[in-house]
Structure 1
Amino acid sequence: MPVEAPATKLSALEWSVVAIARNDRLSSLRAPSRLSVAMGGLFGARHNPRLADPKLEALRRMAVLSWHHGYTVPTSALTAFTDAGYTIAQYETLLGSIASARLARKPQA
């Protein structure tokens, strides 16, 4: 029997999550504090970049980390990414794309 290769591709929706995550701050990965929630109640809620779909949120979190830190993401983040249903091959595809985009936006000397 042929062995099935692990998934390496991301869907168009998943790539849009990666693109949007480019502008998310690392602080978007933390749960809002009680003070932040209270201030939001007083002055109006701030934009919450978290996604309702747990799998897409795991992708967003990995993309945010990768946009900010490249290949140096915590092991716990990689575990959460694969626990959400993504493969290591998809992680490598994601990182390759982000690395290429980061290089392309650097000014040429």
Structure 2
Amino acid sequence: MAYLGIEEMFSGPSADVRKETKAGFTALEWSVIALAKKDSIGSLKAPGRVSRAIGTVFGLGVNSRLAEPRLEMLRRLAVYAWRRGYALPAAEVSAFLKAGFSMGQAEVLVASVTGGSVGQLAWKVAA
């Protein structure tokens, strides 16, 4: 006698499939993308000892880094998208994917920032 899993026939896609097809962001993630517009590429580098000291003494040098690593990775890619459009560093895209985001989300991010169409990112990732 064969077994037919009726519950599994009508359930939605597995968690892996849903994760791969998700191409949107939460409201918090969209706010991180919007806030990244004011950041420069220089904000992605760790501040040196001298700049930290000057910032402490004179109250300069606002730290743009986010405490949550996943949101910080989103901010980093958003800064590159705001400043360079589709020319994203391959290392940043790889780190973005390792942080739990999908390539579809990267495409939506860049397309929304640049006003371009989704589907162009795969061949425009800079080395």
TM, length-normalised to structure 2: 0.74
What is the distance in 1 between the residues matched to 2:107 and 2:61? 33
* Identity fraction in percent: 45
Task: Indicate yes or no: 2:104 matched with 1:53.
Answer: no
RMSD: 1.6
- Corresponding residue for 1:73? 88
Task: Indicate yes or no: 2:72 matched with 1:35.
Answer: no
The structure 1 segments of at least 4 consecutive aligned residues displaced by more than 3 Å after TM superposition are: none
Task: Indicate yes or no: 2:113 matched with 1:98.
Answer: yes
What is the distance in 2 between the residues matched to 1:39 and 1:22? 25
Higher gyration radius (CA)? 2
**Looking at both structures, which has the greater relative contact order when contacts are Cα pairs under 8 Å and sequence separation is at least 6?**
1
Deviations 1:66-101 (A, max 9, x none): 100001011000011111110001001111101118
Q: Tell me how many residue pairs correspond in the alignment.
A: 101
- Corresponding residue for 1:104? none
Query: 1:16 Cα deviation (Å)?
Result: 0.5
> Any unmatched runs of 5+ in structure 1?
102-109
Q: Which moved more, 1:4-13 or 1:39-48?
A: 39-48
The residue type equivalent to 2:54 in the other structure is M
What is the distance in 1 between the residues matched to 2:106 and 2:56? 37
> Any unmatched runs of 5+ in structure 2?
1-8, 117-127
Deviations 1:39-88 (A, max 9, x none): 12222253111100000000000000010000101100001111111000
Secondary structure at 2:39 match in 1: coil
